[in-house]
Amino acid sequence: DAKTTQPNSMESNEEEPVHLPCNHSTISGTDYIHWYRQLPSQGPEYVIHGLTSNVNNRMASLAIAEDRKSSTLILHRATLRDAAVYYCILRGSNYKLTFGKGTLLTVNP
Amino acid sequence: SQTIHQWPATLVQPVGSPLSLECTVEGTSNPNLYWYRQAAGRGLQLLFYSVGIGQISSEVPQNLSASRPQDRQFILSSKKLLLSDSGFYLCAWSGAGLSTDTQYFGPGTRLTVL
């Protein structure tokens, strides 16, 4: 699986938007960009995924660069419950999800 | 709706003892099933995946084995636990046949080997 690069940690204030970046310069044309998050002592939770176009769901938005070499997960209004490790993963035509170290998001009240 | 169960939630076992962790999925048929391990302070590592009954693929050679005796049941086992087997074990499922489909994770089993 192609590699992704994320900042180790980010900090946000409650009720403010959060933009979590991910670089994936070696992405192939068939790789989907998936985002998961893991709250403390819990299993990962699916957040969103996309291929080429920007995507929105009830949890977040995913903005994908035109060349697909980077993407940004957008939490429109961070809450304390959004504090978690966020993983950006490239998913190709196999069954693997290769988790990196992710970004630890801290949300300040 | 689909749900995934894992048990036990926590487990403390001595070195050299056997292990059996169980995962079951409800509300779906013929799911793909996965076992992951997360060592303390590290990322998730895929251990096994299964696309059907009796079909197991191993990702990492190790002290563990997996079995799928029923369509929605996935078991992780060991004959003799090592200290290095300690970690957070997660079971996940995804829709059948769609390798790009979303994976849904269970609550996990925290295993401590002493």
B15-53 pLDDT per residue, tens: 999 999 999 999 998 999 999 999 887 788 999 999 999
**Angle, CA B104 vertex, CA B111 and CA B63 arms, to 5°:** 35
**Angle, CA A41 vertex, CA A38 and CA A43 arms, to 5°:** 45
Which one, of A80, A66, A88, A104, lies nearest residue A1 by Cα? Answer: A88
**Contact flag A97-B46 (C-beta cutoff 8 Å):** yes
DSSP summary character for residue A82: G
Cis (ω within 30 of 0) for the bond into A40?
Answer: no
* Closest CB to A95 among B49, B104, B108: B49
**Contact flag B99-A94 (C-beta cutoff 8 Å):** yes
Distance from CA of B34 to the nearest CA of A (A): 9
**Contact flag B34-A93 (C-beta cutoff 8 Å):** no
Which pLDDT score, from 0 to 100, does residue B97 have?
A: 66
More confident residue, A92 or B81: B81
* Closest CB to A91 among B57, B100, B104: B100
User: The dihedral of CA B41, B46, B47, B49: what is its sign?
Assistant: positive
A29-87 residue pLDDT tens: 888 999 999 998 899 999 999 999 999 999 999 999 999 999 999 999 999 999 999 99
Would you say residue A28 has pLDDT above 80?
yes
Cα nearest neighbour of B57 on chain A: A95
Which pLDDT score, from 0 to 100, does residue B102 have?
A: 87
DSSP summary character for residue B64: -
